[in-house]
């Protein structure tokens, strides 16, 4: 499929060839959901913890005598039914992370890229760098492609100057082409991709790479 390359001023420059195996796939909503939930689960700390009756600090003495008071029988003050007592079946520290199959994760990334390309949310722009590393310069460049909204910038590599400039823009996320995140890509209202990153994605996620069994995301 064909795509348009834009200048940093927002003007059309030339066409670029995009792999149908990366940018022209049918949308698989179930796989996208699976990939996003996998990322969110892997980010969970799992630190929530409560104390059961054996861990609550307190006396083991019987609070009052067994009979004659007209009240319920109490063994100690740490019972779960008492204020300040232990918690029954409360959360404990745990690991929520799990591994998603490599092929499924790669296909999820490709179907999200296809979704963005088909919905005209994806724009490919000529390679650039922010030599000054200033947020003002990057924000002015991004404004050429529309007002500030949730945007994902896909880079060809880890450009430290672009990362420095992007750090103070709350509605901007930046990703390297070989370390995409399904959550950021899917929820980005606008995806701006450098021309070199688009070419690298053609080979990184293309059909030939899938047959080679290379390391995925």
Q: Which two tokens stand for residue 181?
A: 């995140």
Count other Cβ atoms within 10 Å, centred on residue 176: 15
Identify the pLDDT of residue 207: 58
Identify the pLDDT of residue 216: 42
Give the largest Cα separation in the chain, rounded.
93
Q: Tell me which residue of 44, 3, 35, 40 sits closest to 216, measured CA to CA.
A: 35
Identify the pLDDT of residue 213: 42
**In this structure, are residues 176 and 163 in contact, taking their beta carbons and an 8 Å threshold?**
no
Identify the pLDDT of residue 214: 42
Mention every residue, 6+ apart, whose C-beta is less than 8 A from residue 67. Answer: none
Could you say which residues of the chain have pLDDT below 70?
207-217
Domains of the chain: 2-37+101-212 (3.40.1370.10)
């Amino acid at each position: 499929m064909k795509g348009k390359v834009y200048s940093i001023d927002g003007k059309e420059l030339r066409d670029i060839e995009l792999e149908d195996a990366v940018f022209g796939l049918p949308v698989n909503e179930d796989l996208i959901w699976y990939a996003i939930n996998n990322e969110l689960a892997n980010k969970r700390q799992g630190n929530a913890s409560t104390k059961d009756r054996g861990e609550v600090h307190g006396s083991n003495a019987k609070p009052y005598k067994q009979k004659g008071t007209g009240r319920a029988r109490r063994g100690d003050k740490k019972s779960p039914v008492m204020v300040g007592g232990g918690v029954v079946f409360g959360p404990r520290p745990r690991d929520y992370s799990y591994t998603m199959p490599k092929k499924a994760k790669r296909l999820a990334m490709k179907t999200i890229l296809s979704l963005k390309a088909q919905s005209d949310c994806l724009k490919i722009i000529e390679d650039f760098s922010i030599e000054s590393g200033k947020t003002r310069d990057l924000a002015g460049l991004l404004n050429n492609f529309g007002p500030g909204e949730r945007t994902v910038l896909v880079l060809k590599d880890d450009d430290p100057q672009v990362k420095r400039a992007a750090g103070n823009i709350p509605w901007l996320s930046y990703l390297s082409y070989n370390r995409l995140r399904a959550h950021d890509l899917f929820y980005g209202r606008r995806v701006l991709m450098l021309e070199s990153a688009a070419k690298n994605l053609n080979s990184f996620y293309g059909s030939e790479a899938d047959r080679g069994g290379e390391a995925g995301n």
